[in-house]
Homo-oligomer: A and B are copies of this chain.
């Protein structure tokens, strides 16, 4: 299964085409809607005020409620696109956004309104694709879950702490970053390979780094390995009935690029939303001169919580790809 996401934040619609979908999957559209709702804006006092139904319209690849096996196209119409003037973004790139790099890459022809193709809104079709992937995995006993493992420097925060940290940042016109820990259980041993393009870590990385704002990814003990000795890090094998297991899982379920039957565990770093309310230093691309910029509009001070279903979607899609290798 492969996917292509298309769309711009203020164009007619955003969407996704999934190819290689197995035929005969009875799509649970309520489960899809539930995933979409987890990501949707406007559900949370700390989040952006933009409210859109994120109503998915399936154009192809589903017949009488079941997947056909042919390419599955789904779109979400853009409805709440305010007509305000975005044109200054064309000249004054927002720090740490894709504006400047994108204007070079796309020869100044990218749709800059609302971030265009770089918008976090493009994660909506990704969540849709991930919901399909989860439904492919569920009958195999494979589940994908995630939790906020850090926000604003606080490890393993509670809901209450998360809200506090976010609201404090919001009060300062600022944003905060975080991290998400993910787990995929039920992947049998023996998927992946040590080679380029086939190792389990690389396949997960391909999908997870395609999520905007992800700037780090680790498996198992991850960067903590740099402070460990082999005798601590190695996962001792034992027999659990007829099944080979490991007593610890520092390897995150992967050895030599191949799954070993233990839960696949990973963590991603999420950068703070670059859209903050404070004055920032930028440049005028037309005048080639330093400038200051104040970004107006609706912006989440922290996207980490809304990113949970997005990260799960990417992990589910990675798992489907891994199983197909």
Interface residues of A, Cβ cutoff 8 Å to B:
3-8, 11-15, 17, 19, 23-24, 57-61, 63, 66-73, 75, 93, 95-102, 104-111, 116-118, 122, 150-153, 169, 172, 174-179, 189-197, 199, 201-202, 205-207, 209-210, 212, 214-239, 242, 244, 246-247, 250-252, 254-261, 267, 269-276, 278, 280-283, 285, 288-290
Pairs A–B under 8 Å by Cβ, sample size 16: A4-B195, A7-B71, A8-B70, A11-B63, A95-B237, A98-B194, A101-B192, A104-B261, A122-B194, A152-B227, A153-B227, A205-B209, A215-B221, A217-B218, A221-B271, A247-B281
Known: A95-B246, A238-B281, A260-B100. A17 touches B17 (CB 8 A): yes
**Bound: A26/B241 CA distance, A:** 32
Is B212 within 8 A of A256, CB to CB?
yes
Q: Determine the residue in chain B with the shortest Cβ distance to A197.
A: B206
Is A95 within 8 A of B258, CB to CB?
no
**Bound: A200/B109 CA distance, A:** 20
Is B189 within 8 A of A100, CB to CB?
yes
Identify which of B14, B174, B223, B225 contacts A229 (C-beta below 8 A).
Answer: B174
Q: Determine the residue in chain B with the shortest Cβ distance to A227.
A: B153
Is A72 within 8 A of B6, CB to CB?
yes
Is B66 within 8 A of A225, CB to CB?
no
**Bound: A111/B69 CA distance, A:** 10
Is B105 within 8 A of A258, CB to CB?
yes
Query: Which of A174, A176, A227, A251 has the largest number of chain B CB atoms within 10 A?
Result: A227
- Determine how close the nearest CB of chain B comes to the CB of A106; give it in whole angstroms: 4
- Determine how close the nearest CB of chain B comes to the CB of A62; give it in whole angstroms: 8
Is B152 within 8 A of A229, CB to CB?
yes
Is B7 within 8 A of A73, CB to CB?
yes
Q: Determine the residue in chain B with the shortest Cβ distance to A178.
A: B226
Is B282 within 8 A of A236, CB to CB?
yes
Q: List the B side residues contacting A280 at CB < 8 Å.
A: 234, 236
Is B205 within 8 A of A217, CB to CB?
yes
